[in-house]
Structure 1
Amino acid sequence: MTAEELLAQDFGTLADVIRAQAAELGEKPALVDANRTISYRELDELMDRIAAALQRDGVKTGEAVAVCATTSVEYGATFFGILRAGAVVAPLAPSSTPESLAMMLKDCGARIFFLDSGVAKQLQDVAGEISATRIALDGSDAGQAFEAWLAPAGARPAPVEIDPDQGFNIIYSSGTTGAPKGIVQPHRMRWGQIRRGVYPQDSVTMISTPLYSNTTLVSYLPTISNGGTAVLMPKFDAEQFLKLSEKHRATHAMLVPVQYRRLLERPDFDSYDLSSYRMKFATSAPFSAELKRQVLDRWPGGLIEYYGMTEGGGSCGLVAHEYPDKLHTVGKPLPGHDIRLIGEDGQELPQGEIGEVVGRSGAMMVGYHNQPGKTSEAEWWSPEGLRYIRTGDVGRFDEDGFLTLMDRKKDMIISGGFNIYPSDLEAEIVKHEAVLEAAVVGVASDKWGETPVAFVALKPGQKIEAEALKAWVNERLGKTQRLADLKLVDGLPRSHIGKVLKRELRDGYRGAATA
């Protein structure tokens, strides 16, 4: 069966599609990084060797295998090889604290852990808590060398049966000091995404966000399933992105808004030949209408903004180049996506009312791994008995059916495309012996989109300088979580029922939080 025929089916597996693409495309480049390029034939063979080695080491269908490393061809192929073995991919963020990484490894139950030297160094202090067998993707002494661990050339894994509701991957919503939530996304959900026709066989997609991010996967997976070429960047750099785009004649890219801003702010942006671009995508963070307009005016090709959650549910899409008068919105619900607004009482609201966004589609998480209580909190059930995912975002539909986001009901901060949960940061701050209470809010940042700022009240009689406390806290946080500013206050503003009024803190903030 051809790849096209497989993709036309109601359900199939990505591993089978890549096998079919390899038979048809042979030596066409599949994955490209700074060190090497591998063809579809080579990718398929490497996936076989990875899957056979995992099965040799006792990995069973439905069991999680963890990966935490810098993006590379080896990482990209390992992701697919895990799937071919019938296992579930658990991609973890290297920017997480060592304690959080150890916690996530334990939570997902991975017995095999792919990593690199940078992550191994980071984990030195918690090495005793990690029992998983280590495989070093970069050939370092972080674990068994990847090439030596692989099954022999020509090895083939045993066939596996995949249930549509079986886990495809577990993405952790927060690589933070609190308890991360593992979002289990099933094969059924990913199958719907990889069939998207927006990435044709001749596409060349720039992958400039990490492979542990859902933002990346919704672009990376369909590029490969449809026979395109993925250009992998280990880390986003505006100049390198533009050079690689020009060199490889890139046609597609998925970027978060802060990356668009950094690219367009370069004085030499207009000197690069980006005429090969057909479509650009954005997601994960608020995208201002002004910035969207700049992208449309200065960058060839179309622009589509997606709004949705890693947990799935309902998603919206704004085809910005077709609706230049709707740039203040996140677009309309995608085909097959049902999005509704509900009030504080859980009742559905009519068009024009402001309420919490809930959504339902074929792309929905199974639940939070090992956290049924959190899963239940994330669900809303319609009067017809249908399951929806709550977003925690507040919005309103206009008369044309376009959704405008008014605010986030939850206090989650999105900084540089990464989710930061204030409660996790607050829990770390109050561990200091001088601290009585703390509140963290997100404030606008030119560099990151949003950045966290803490307001801290000290215990009576305690003294510490704000800068010293900020440094103490930041040493204990992941790289993407660190505070941009910390303000000492006499007390936190509260409502009559004792709830901290974070809006007052955010609105009254004055400081240099754009760093």
Structure 2
Amino acid sequence: MGKIATSTASTAAAADVPPFRAIADLAREHAAARPHARALVQAGRSVTWGQLDAMMDRVAASLQRDGFKPTDSIAICAYNSLEYAAVFLGALRAGVAVAPLPTGALPSQIGTMVEDSGAKLFFVDAVVPAFGTKAKRIRLDVPGADSFEQWLMPEGAKPRRVVTRPEWPFNIIYSSGTTGTPKGIVQSHAMRWMHVARGEGYGYGPQATAMIATSLCSNTTLVCFFPAIAKGGCVVIGPPKFDPAKYLAIAEQEKATHTMLVPVQYQRIMSLPDFGKYDLRAFQMKFCTSAPFHAELKADILKRWPGGLVEFYGMTEGGGTCILDAHNHPDKLHTVGKPSEGHDIRVIDEDERELPRGEIGEIVGRSRAMMTAYHHQPQKTREAEWYDAEGNRFIRTGDVGRFDDDGFVTLMDRRKDMVISGGFNIYPSDIEAILRQHAGVADAAVVGVPSLEWGETPVAFVVPSKERIAEEALRTWANSQLGKTQRLNAVRYLDELPRSEIGKVLKRQLREKYTAQSA
């Protein structure tokens, strides 16, 4: 079986980071110390630490029986489940990397990702239609031929011990494909350990109950899931389809202490008329990442939802991370916070020259938590890198922003989403913020479309509220609030904005939709 490339670039020790430990080894220790404590919960089913440890052994032993060796890979494409979690963790115990694939991808894309990952086994459920692939399919959700239970070694099976090396690949996360074909982002065990070490300061531990409501294929979910597992807590897995009322009911019942949600989920929760009826006093910390998190929404959460609120800004590729402890900095809710300790974040111009504080440019970052590479895509890897004068490697974010006088980072937009009209740079986020001030707007996204006169011109796609007005009337109102170069060429209403599995607006789809309608 083909090996995944490894790197030692991320393994240097740092004084403020605990020595590396393999998460699979920590799970065994929790099972020995608290075998009857809950480790995983979903829809009335629960798995104790002792049961999870035994299942991880069976998965690891089954992979070794099938000839898998450390740094080989498997792929998973399924809704979140106890079985999904056990396969992921069991593979890690065998030193096998996991490629968790997005369920919302097209069959052709899924097939491409399975092939790219080098997986010889592909774990699926009913969400994945049948299609040709060289990898053997194992069904997680049904009995019979090619089922998970049939594939597993018998109860009590033990794998050969594997000593996990920090530079080995932990997982291959495929980008959401918002800009085209998804790229495989190889994250090492060392990189994932950094997320666990960071979690120490947020109260993860044996008494923590972390609730996840986004897919296990996403790094957004995994940065909450693995710290909870590594520290011996309990992970509550929400329903496959997010429902804000069900989420709150489960959080109240399970006395959730931690959660990770994306902004659109927070928006839906806080919009519930009966939000206040739920007892959420057990919450210690809530996290958010993956998409723009508006200051007004942060303020509402701080006011009405117990516990702290932390926003992470960064990339699945790693590099630089900013952290906003919103509960400690209520005057900085318009920012994404300051660089995390040990993270070097800078701003560069179009010619890749470093810019001083206050200047607007592309954000680049460097830390111990950095991807090894894009899998099988050396050219894409090089395009994602920037090197300073000393030769230090940084990851380019593709985001435009600046540092304020206090060292907090304010984001403007994705570099690719910036509209250049008549030679002027227009930031869609500025226009979106204006649109959201209108009572007739529930949500909005602005994209640049081709213009013979200006090169590009901004168009708004709007989800109207109950107080909707005519599209042209909204455009006239918005243009009265905007600068001359920002003015909208058109407003189009949609029932909802197209989003990825983790809530990112798919602006490429909006551009294509407008172009097709205008043809």
TM-score range, shorter chain: 0.7 to 0.9
Structure 1 CA distance for aligned equivalents of residues 345 and 288 of structure 2: 20
Q: For the Cα contact (< 8 Å) 1:31–1:232, is it kept in 2?
A: yes
Q: Which residue of 2 aligns with 1:212?
A: 217
1:225 aligned residue (226, 230, 244): 230
Structure 2 CA distance for aligned equivalents of residues 165 and 495 of structure 1: 52
Q: Which residue of 2 aligns with 1:201?
A: 206
2:134 aligned residue (131, 138, 141): 131
Question: Which segment drifts farther, 366-375 or 31-40?
Answer: 31-40
Structure 2 CA distance for aligned equivalents of residues 503 and 135 of structure 1: 47
Q: CA deviation at 1:276?
A: 0.7
- Is residue 113 of structure 2 the alignment partner of residue 111 of structure 1? no
Distance 1:494 1:314, change over 3 A: farther
Q: Which residue of 2 aligns with 1:478?
A: none
CA RMSD between the two structures: 2.4
- Is residue 248 of structure 2 the alignment partner of residue 242 of structure 1? yes
Distance 1:110 1:42, change over 3 A: same
Q: CA deviation at 1:366?
A: 0.4
* TM-score, structure 2 as length reference: 0.80
> Aligned AA for 1:295?
I
Q: For the Cα contact (< 8 Å) 2:56–2:93, is it kept in 1?
A: yes
Q: Which residue of 2 aligns with 1:191?
A: 193
Distance 1:226 1:448, change over 3 A: farther
Q: Which residue of 1 aligns with 2:481?
A: none
> Aligned AA for 2:139?
A
Q: CA deviation at 1:24?
A: 1.1
> Aligned AA for 2:136?
T
Deviations 1:395-414 (A, max 9, x none): 111111100001210239xx
Structure 2 CA distance for aligned equivalents of residues 396 and 118 of structure 1: 42
Structure 2 CA distance for aligned equivalents of residues 454 and 406 of structure 1: 15
Instruction: Give the 3-state SS of the residue equivalent to 2:386 in structure 1.
Output: strand
Q: CA deviation at 1:312?
A: 0.3
- Is residue 373 of structure 2 the alignment partner of residue 392 of structure 1? no
Distance 1:8 1:154, change over 3 A: farther
1:501 aligned residue (456, 460, 463): 456
Instruction: Give the 3-state SS of the residue equivalent to 1:71 in structure 2.
Output: coil
Structure 1 CA distance for aligned equivalents of residues 409 and 495 of structure 2: 28
Q: For the Cα contact (< 8 Å) 2:447–2:459, is it kept in 1?
A: no
Q: Which residue of 1 aligns with 2:287?
A: 281
Structure 1 CA distance for aligned equivalents of residues 59 and 228 of structure 2: 21
Question: Which segment drifts farther, 167-176 or 83-92?
Answer: 167-176
- Is residue 155 of structure 2 the alignment partner of residue 148 of structure 1? no
Q: CA deviation at 1:179?
A: 2.6
- Superposed, which structure 2 residues align to 1:454-473 within 5 Å? none
Structure 2 CA distance for aligned equivalents of residues 255 and 448 of structure 1: 19
Structure 1 CA distance for aligned equivalents of residues 168 and 256 of structure 2: 34
Q: For the Cα contact (< 8 Å) 1:101–1:175, is it kept in 2?
A: no
Q: Which residue of 2 aligns with 1:510?
A: 491
Q: For the Cα contact (< 8 Å) 1:188–1:363, is it kept in 2?
A: yes
Structure 2 CA distance for aligned equivalents of residues 45 and 278 of structure 1: 31
1:379 aligned residue (378, 385, 388): 385
Q: CA deviation at 1:162?
A: 2.8
Structure 2 CA distance for aligned equivalents of residues 228 and 379 of structure 1: 36
Q: Which residue of 2 aligns with 1:59?
A: 68
Q: Which residue of 2 aligns with 1:85?
A: 94
Q: For the Cα contact (< 8 Å) 1:169–1:184, is it kept in 2?
A: yes
- Superposed, which structure 2 residues align to 1:17-416 within 5 Å? 17-119=26-128, 122=129, 124=130, 127-128=131-132, 130-140=133-143, 144-175=146-177, 178-195=180-197, 196-197=199-200, 198=202, 199-233=204-238, 234-411=240-417
Q: For the Cα contact (< 8 Å) 2:460–2:492, is it kept in 1?
A: no
Distance 1:26 1:164, change over 3 A: same
Instruction: Give the 3-state SS of the residue equivalent to 2:492 in structure 1.
Output: coil
Structure 1 CA distance for aligned equivalents of residues 308 and 460 of structure 2: 39
> Aligned AA for 1:338?
D
For structure 1, which runs of at least 5 residues remain unmatched after alignment? 1-6, 413-440, 456-491
Distance 1:381 1:503, change over 3 A: farther
For structure 2, which runs of at least 5 residues remain unmatched after alignment? 1-15, 419-427, 462-487, 497-519
Q: CA deviation at 1:45?
A: 0.6
Structure 2 CA distance for aligned equivalents of residues 409 and 148 of structure 1: 49
Structure 1 CA distance for aligned equivalents of residues 442 and 83 of structure 2: 29
> Aligned AA for 1:33?
Q
Structure 2 CA distance for aligned equivalents of residues 382 and 140 of structure 1: 55
Instruction: Give the 3-state SS of the residue equivalent to 1:118 in structure 2.
Output: coil
Distance 1:508 1:165, change over 3 A: farther
Structure 2 CA distance for aligned equivalents of residues 18 and 388 of structure 1: 33
- What percent of counterpart residues are identical? 52
Q: For the Cα contact (< 8 Å) 1:96–1:176, is it kept in 2?
A: no
Q: CA deviation at 1:381?
A: 0.4
Instruction: Give the 3-state SS of the residue equivalent to 2:451 in structure 1.
Output: coil
Q: For the Cα contact (< 8 Å) 1:97–1:177, is it kept in 2?
A: no
Distance 1:35 1:248, change over 3 A: closer
Structure 1 CA distance for aligned equivalents of residues 456 and 447 of structure 2: 14
Structure 2 CA distance for aligned equivalents of residues 452 and 495 of structure 1: 19
Instruction: Give the 3-state SS of the residue equivalent to 1:358 in structure 2.
Output: strand
Structure 2 CA distance for aligned equivalents of residues 22 and 509 of structure 1: 59
Q: How many pairs are equivalent?
A: 436
Distance 1:334 1:495, change over 3 A: farther
